[in-house]
């Protein structure tokens, strides 16, 4: 599985047709709407889990109308 910055989706072998998306446009869309990223990382040897890491992140923009978290 792979991701593609030109509009591909996980699991697709061919990218979608259409104009390519610049990285700055992708970041603008991401910060405008927000995103939640989650993932699990497990390191194991011989089917014995040695390290398990849960990853969670919320990405969004902060406007002047909202109070800061500090």
Which domain, by its residues, includes 46? Answer: 34-62
Residue 18 lies in a domain: no
Most confident of 1-5, 6-10, 24-28, 46-50: 46-50
Residue 45 lies in a domain: yes
Please state the pTM of the whole predicted model.
Answer: 0.39
Number of folded domains in the chain?
1
Instruction: Give the tens place of pLDDT for each residue, 53-70.
Output: 998 988 877 777 776 666
DSSP labels for the chain?
----TTT--TT-SSPPSS----HHHHHHHHHHH-EEEEEEEEEEETTEEEEEEEEEEEE----TTSPP--
């Amino acid at each position: 599985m792979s991701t593609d910055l030109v509009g591909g989706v996980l699991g697709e072998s061919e990218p979608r047709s259409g104009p390519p998306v610049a990285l700055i446009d992708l970041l603008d869309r991401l910060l405008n709407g927000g995103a939640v990223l989650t993932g699990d990382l497990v390191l194991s040897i011989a089917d014995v889990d040695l390290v398990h890491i849960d990853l969670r992140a919320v990405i969004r923009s902060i406007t002047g109308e909202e109070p800061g978290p500090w």
